[in-house]
């Protein structure tokens, strides 16, 4: 079977859902191609990547290139990963193609969290999106959602929905039972923004280091899309005497190899609609590498954190709560049973079961 994934805005090598989970898992049974932008065209290990240009190109030109490339591939199934690609899906459907639309997040809730969109612009996009979603998704063959809670946005399409969660492939994470380093190392991986609790984290680290003999070292790994926030982060890095570092965006393969060197992973997001019921994937990735997690007290968090075993839950938007958590966990963090943390994740949140659902869906359509 020929599967074609299309993701133009995603950085596919740092987005674990597209390459590491879905595409690579399919290679033993299917021929898999990814159409994307901003990456070199390549063919490695059976996975073919087609680059249609830079991400900064005119979007209409990119859409045309995507459509032409898609037809040339002549895949059995086209798996779309971004909402604007609904338009590509409609065109491909008119040519008789099988289409899957994959919603990684709650798009309608996420709109209002975009720093570059005013509320008015977000409302206009939402107004235009809703009828397009209804008409086009009725045409598509299947809809994949990354979370059960997204179903409420697709009430009339239940017969086409499959929920495939972002559980990690735990076996791919390098694992060490001890970090081998005397320093207390904290890491955040993901898009670096204010609504992901980064200011609160930095303030808590600075406060802890001012009042404790056990110094914390924080690494921030990921892109910063907001220029003002980037300046804030750089100012904090410069004044931290080496205790806070921004390492930029890393390939997922690097994260798989290096995450186990840290003690604590941070995922204490703000209390926003898009975060309340969305799987905090990073918690499970931290756990796969043996790290203890700090996460926000949001409704979904309690499904994935067992207090004292794989993580602690703190108040969202609250640097004092994060600081108090550090005070409690850091003195004993080196004695954590990292093997049990990893085991808890691999036994309860397995990508293997999610992939079976994906493969069955491919076969059905």
pLDDT tens digits, one per residue of 220-264: 999 998 999 999 999 999 999 999 999 999 989 999 999 999 999
Residue among 221, 291, 224, 279 nearest 252 (CA): 221
278 falls in which pLDDT band (50, 70, 90)? Answer: confident
- At residue 165, the 3 state secondary structure works out as coil
pLDDT value for 113:
67
Residue among 136, 139, 161, 166 nearest 150 (CA): 161
What is the CB neighbour count within 10 angstroms for residue 333? 18
Is 253 in the same domain as 336?
yes
Is 177 in the same domain as 150?
no
- The pair of three-digit structure tokens given for residue 56, joined into one six-digit string: 């900064």
Is 177 in the same domain as 324?
yes
- At 1-40, the pLDDT tens digits run 999 999 998 888 888 899 989 999 998 889 999 999 988 8
- At 254-273, the pLDDT tens digits run 999 999 999 999 999 999 88
Is 176 in the same domain as 316?
yes
pLDDT at 355 over 90: yes
What is the CB neighbour count within 10 angstroms for residue 157? 16
The lowest-confidence range among 76-80, 105-109, 160-164, 300-304 is 105-109
Question: What residues make up the domain containing 60?
Answer: 2-167+351-364
127 falls in which pLDDT band (50, 70, 90)? Answer: confident
Is 31 in the same domain as 138?
yes
Is 14 in the same domain as 115?
yes
Is 334 in the same domain as 194?
yes
The CATH number assigned to the domain holding 11 equals 3.40.50.2000
Is 321 in the same domain as 210?
yes
Average pLDDT estimate for 94-104? 95
Contact 321/314 with Cβ under 8 angstroms? yes
Is 282 in the same domain as 221?
yes
Is 344 in the same domain as 248?
yes
pLDDT value for 117:
66
Is 35 in the same domain as 81?
yes
Burial (CB count <10 Å: 0-12, 13-18, 19+), residue 102: buried
pLDDT value for 156:
66
Candidate ranges 102-106, 150-154, 347-351; pick with highest mean pLDDT: 347-351
Is 216 in the same domain as 83?
no
pLDDT value for 66:
95
What gap in Å lies between CA 278 and CA 299, rounded to an integer?
9
State the pTM of this model. 0.89
pLDDT at 125 over 80: no
With vertex at residue 303, the alpha carbon angle to CA 302 and CA 305, rounded to the nearest 5 degrees, is 60
217 forms bridges with which residues in the sheet? Answer: 185
Number of domains, the chain = 2
């Amino acid at each position: 079977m020929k599967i074609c994934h299309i993701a133009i805005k995603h950085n596919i090598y740092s987005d674990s859902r597209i390459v590491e989970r879905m595409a690579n898992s399919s290679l033993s049974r299917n021929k898999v191609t990814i159409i994307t932008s901003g990456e070199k065209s390549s063919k490695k290990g059976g996975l073919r990547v087609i680059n249609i240009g830079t991400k900064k190109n005119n979007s209409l030109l990119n859409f045309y290139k995507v459509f032409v490339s898609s037809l040339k591939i002549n895949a059995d199934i086209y798996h779309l990963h971004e909402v604007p690609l609904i338009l590509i899906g409609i065109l491909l459907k008119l040519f008789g193609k099988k289409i899957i639309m994959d919603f990684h997040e709650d798009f309608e809730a996420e709109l209002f969290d975009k720093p570059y969109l005013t509320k008015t612009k977000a409302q206009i996009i939402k107004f235009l999106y809703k009828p397009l979603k209804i008409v086009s998704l009725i045409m598509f063959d299947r809809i994949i959602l990354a979370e059960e809670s997204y179903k409420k946005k697709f009430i009339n399409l239940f017969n086409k929905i499959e929920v495939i969660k972002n559980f990690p492939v735990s076996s791919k994470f390098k694992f060490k039972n001890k970090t081998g380093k005397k320093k207390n190392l904290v890491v955040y991986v993901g898009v670096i923004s204010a609504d992901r609790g980064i200011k609160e984290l930095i303030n808590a680290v600075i406060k802890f280091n001012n009042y404790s003999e056990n110094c914390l070292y924080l690494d921030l790994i990921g892109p910063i899309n907001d220029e003002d926030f980037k300046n804030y982060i750089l100012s904090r890095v410069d004044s931290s005497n080496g205790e806070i570092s921004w390492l930029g965006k890393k390939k997922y393969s690097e994260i798989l190899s290096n995450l186990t060197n840290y003690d604590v992973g941070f995922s204490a997001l703000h209390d926003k609609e898009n975060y309340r019921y969305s799987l905090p994937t990073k918690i499970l990735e931290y756990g796969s590498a043996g790290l203890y997690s700090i996460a926000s007290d949001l409704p979904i968090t309690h499904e994935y954190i067992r207090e004292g075993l794989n993580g602690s839950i703190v108040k969202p938007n609250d640097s004092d709560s994060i600081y108090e958590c550090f005070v409690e966990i850091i003195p004993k963090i080196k004695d954590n049973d990292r093997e049990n943390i990893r085991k808890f994740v691999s036994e309860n949140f397995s990508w293997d079961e999610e992939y079976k659902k994906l493969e069955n869906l491919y076969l059905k359509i």
